[in-house]
Structure 1
Amino acid sequence: MEEILRPTGLDMPRWRVLMALHQDRVASVSEIAAHTIEKLPTMTKIIQRMEVDGLVLRQPRPGKERVMEVVLTDQGQIAGDEAWRSAAKLYEQAFAGMNAEEIDHLNALLKRVAENLSGPVPASVESLSSPTPTGD
């Protein structure tokens, strides 16, 4: 993905933010951090850099001034669209030969894996020893 994004001038963190904003063009910093599975302080720095680049604007959420919203600029929309087109080629390659049902099933499994990894490691998992090679 990084190779595909290189010509667009985007890196993976910026791409994740643009994809989080792709549909609605606006989300809070916290919502983007949760969506991209990134720590809030790190996401804040990424968004600050993107604001300097003219890709997004930050503003208080109307009625909830403590919540900072990130708004996709026209320049950010153009960059996101270009990155999306580039990424679509990679997705086509990755999912070649799979039907929609198989892709949905894969996504559901990956979502479960991500959910499993989002919490603390249970004691039952910590106590498991890793498999050792049998030498066969």
Structure 2
Amino acid sequence: MQNLRDKVMASKAGKSAVKTIGEYQYPWREKLAKYKDELSKGVWGHWHLGAWKPLGISARHRARLRKEVLLAGEEDWPYDPERKEMRTKRKGHKCDRISAAKRANTAELMKKMPEMLLDYKKRRWEKKMKEEDAKESD
């Protein structure tokens, strides 16, 4: 008789354990429901009537809750702030940017070089002619 009673008690304990495990299989759901208002106020806190109010949940607990939700297979954690676009352009050294601009400018000027030489020769020839005219008229 004692053995039968132990088996019945063991089965009841097993059922209650299963029930308990079933209820607490997703403990993050309860936490999420509890802190939903707090999480929607921002990541670090918020301004309220001109004063900064930190969150009612610590950053460590917030991070743990976020991790539990994402590990449980939920599609997204909507309480993260939007991230800025990644910077693709490297800063580099100013001298490198300037030298690259100078090389580009030099390449353009070299294309114009034949015209510039002809203009220079024409100006020199005109100056020489003016000087010769000035000598002749004296």
Q: Same fold (TM over 0.5)?
A: no
The TM-score by the shorter chain falls in which range? under 0.3
Greater C-alpha radius of gyration? 2
Normalising by structure 2, what TM-score? 0.26
Of Structure 1 and Structure 2, the greater strand share is in: 1
**Structure with more contact order per residue of length (Cα contacts < 8 Å, sep ≥ 6):** 1
